[in-house]
């Protein structure tokens, strides 16, 4: 199972400095920090972008329309896993 937690940087640094790590400490230290000021995080693999979705949408678009426009609705409507940071 994967879980995202938000801990103060001061607490994270205190865990790093400890000589003996508890099981929870070790789990936290094995985690991957998110970059500061990241955007909205979604599960891109769950997007419904397939030929069945793509081709009918292309027919309604003007020739030469950027591919990004075809998928913009899918991306915008994707469930958010983690909100963007300010």
Tell whether 51 and 68 lie within a shared domain: yes
CA distance 5 to 17: 20
CA 54 vs. chain centroid, Å, equals 23
DSSP 42-63: E-GGGS--SHHHHHHHHHTSPT
- The number of folded domains in the chain is 2
Tell whether 17 and 43 lie within a shared domain: no
Tell whether 28 and 44 lie within a shared domain: no
Residue 65 is part of which domain span?
A: 38-86
**74 within 8 A of 47, measured Cβ to Cβ:** yes
Tell whether 45 and 68 lie within a shared domain: yes
Q: What is the pLDDT of residue 47?
A: 75
Q: What is the pLDDT of residue 2?
A: 86
Q: What is the pLDDT of residue 23?
A: 95
Instruction: Determine which of 4-13, 45-54, 59-68 has the lowest per-residue pLDDT on average.
Output: 59-68
Tell whether 46 and 85 lie within a shared domain: yes
Tell whether 66 and 46 lie within a shared domain: yes
Q: What number of CA atoms fall less than 13 Å from residue 61's CA on the CB side?
A: 15
Predicted TM-score (pTM) above 0.75: no
pLDDT of 35-56, one tens digit each?
889 999 998 887 766 555 555 5
pLDDT at 79 over 70: yes
Mean pLDDT of 13-21: 94
């Amino acid at each position: 199972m994967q879980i995202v937690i938000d801990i103060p940087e001061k607490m994270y640094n205190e865990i790093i400095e400890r000589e003996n790590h508890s099981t929870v400490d070790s789990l936290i230290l094995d985690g991957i920090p998110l970059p500061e000021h990241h955007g909205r995080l979604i599960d891109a693999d769950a997007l419904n972008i397939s030929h069945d979705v793509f081709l009918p949408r292309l027919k309604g678009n003007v020739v030469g329309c950027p591919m990004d426009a075809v998928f913009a609705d899918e991306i915008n409507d994707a469930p958010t896993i983690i909100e963007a940071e300010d």
